Every structure is written in C-alpha cells, then in structure tokens.
Amino acid sequence: MNNAEETKNRILEIIKKEGPMYVIQVSKKAGIDSLLASAFLAELVNEKKLKISYMKIGSSPLYYIPGQEKELEKFSNYLKSREKEAFLLLKEKGILEDDKQIPPIRVALRNLKDFAIGFQKDGKIMWRYAFYEEKEEPLKKQEEEKKNNEEIKKEPPQKKELPAKQNVEKDSGDFIEEVRKFLEKKNIKIIDEIQIKKREYLAIVEVNSDLGKLKFFMQAKDKKKISTDDLIDLIKKAKPYNMIPLLVSSGELAKKAEEYYQDNDNIIKFLRLK
C-alpha cells in the first residue's frame, strides 16, 4: 500500500474514532500539512468514504463518515445567532410550520441544511428536525388537543391590518421600469405594488424555490450608496407584513452597511440592480 493510501486510511480511522472534524483538526491528528489534509479529505469525499457538512467552522466544513450525521449537533454553537435560535427551536419542537415562524427564523431554517428537512403538507411548507423521532402521545392528550382545535376553528379568523397603499401608478419613470425588467429576468414575480415614487418602489414579490413559492417585501432604491440605516429601515417596513425584506438597488452597500449585511444576511436580502 502506498503512503497516500496509508494516510487516507489513517484519516478515516481518526474520524471514525473522534467523530466529525474540520481540516486543522485532521491536520494535527494525522501529523500532516493542512493543505495536504485538505487534498486527502477532498479525495475521500469524492470516493464517498466521507461526507461534508454545510455548516462551517471558520472557513472549513466538517468531514464525517456516513452514519455520523447526528454528531454534527456537537458543533451547533458555531452557528450564527439566528441559525442557532432556529436550530434549538426545531430540535425542541421536532416539526415546524414555515408560515407560523417570524421571517428571520424562516430564512435561518433554509440555511440549516444539516439539521432541517423541508417538505410540503397540505400545500404548506414544513420543516422536520433531521433526527426527530415522533412519539405517540397518550390518548387523553390527543383528545384534549382535538377539542382545543375544534374550539379554535369556531372563532372567526382575525384579519391583519396592513399599511395602506400609497402613490401607486403604472407609468412611473425609467427606474421603476428597469426594476420591473430586472425582476422579470430573475424570475421574480410582482404580486402587489404598494408604493411607487420616482426613485423608490415598494412591492410584494414572489420567488419560486425547491420548497414552493416564497413571498418577500421588496424595496427598490435608486441610490448610489446604501447605508446601514437604509437596511434597518427596510426591516422595520417589512415587519407588519411578516415577510423577509428584499432590497434591490442600483447602488452598492457602503462599508458599514456591508458589514451589517454580512452579520444579518439571515433576516434581509440584497440584490444589486445590474
């Protein structure tokens, strides 16, 4: 057996014993250079002897042997704050209904690819914890829940009041037409136009995803530099609609706004108008 194969087998034995590991850990345990460790790990993934996580520790993913998936839970502290919040909620509940979650949690669930399994039920997007084991509940508890659900159904649904539309005009200048064409090119459908000004456009838009159609509260801004205040303002505007905010702009994010966006890209999305 050549040295390369011996090293790969040693790496497999280490991960089998220690559990999921990132590159630096493998490098130290195997006594090899980190670049070499990365190369061997990549080969083992290609050979399907190892799997690779979606979550990252710093800039490195975790490498693990098939069957060690549940051990990724040990690294949940490395998740971003919102993703960790969504992870703990999903782990506790087992199954979550997408529509009933606040927008930041809905976005975070889509990023938890190691732990959240999406599926559809009765036309609704649902999330199941990857290691969730559903237990049968006592009959008495099931009957109580059934009774409570029947009482809830009897109550008339409460209609949520949303801000009124303002200044909605179809013929609204070059910028708005540019935005509409950009959205069409991106296969983003305009559902409802809320406010149209010469350099600003508010609308509800819909995006097709693997888990069905998702709605966003979109603001388009004709501005050279987007500030942190612009991002925060849009998050506030989207809150009454219970939708993820999407900012479309002809300009770029200012330095501080870029830093804010990197830290909060799980609760707001940005697209550069090109």
DSSP assignment string, 151-204:
HHHHSPPPPPP-PPPBS--S---HHHHHHHHHHHHTTEEEEEEEEE-SSEEEEE
At residue 146, the pLDDT reads 56
Q: Which long-range contacts (CB under 8 A, 24 or more apart) does 74-78 make?
A: 74/19, 74/20, 75/20, 76/115
| Model pLDDT for residues 153-210, shown as the tens digit of each residue | 454 544 445 555 555 554 456 899 999 999 999 999 999 999 998 889 999 999 887 6
At residue 139, the pLDDT reads 45
Q: 198 near 173, Cβ under 8 Å?
A: yes
Q: Report d(CA 183, CA 180) in Å as an integer.
A: 5
**Chain centroid to CA 255: how far?**
24
Residue with structure tokens 């493998």? Answer: 26
At residue 151, the pLDDT reads 52
Considering just the CA atoms, what is the radius of gyration of the chain in Å? 24
Q: Report d(CA 101, CA 172) in Å as an integer.
A: 35
Tokens of 174: 């070059």
Q: Report d(CA 39, CA 45) in Å as an integer.
A: 10
- Give the Å distances, CA to CA, from 61 to 13, 24, 110, 252: 19, 11, 18, 30
Task: Give strand pairing partners of 208.
Answer: 213
User: Which helix (H) or strand (E) element contains residue 106?
Assistant: helix 103-111
Going from the N-terminus, what domains does the chain have, and what CATH number goes with each?
Answer: 3-69 (1.10.10.10), 79-129 (1.10.10), 174-272 (3.40.1350.10)
**pLDDT band per the 50, 70, 90 thresholds, residue 213:** confident
At residue 4, the pLDDT reads 82
| Model pLDDT for residues 79-96, shown as the tens digit of each residue | 999 999 999 999 999 999
pLDDT, greater one: 107 or 156: 107
Angle among Cα 125, 131, 133 to the nearest 5 degrees reads: 90
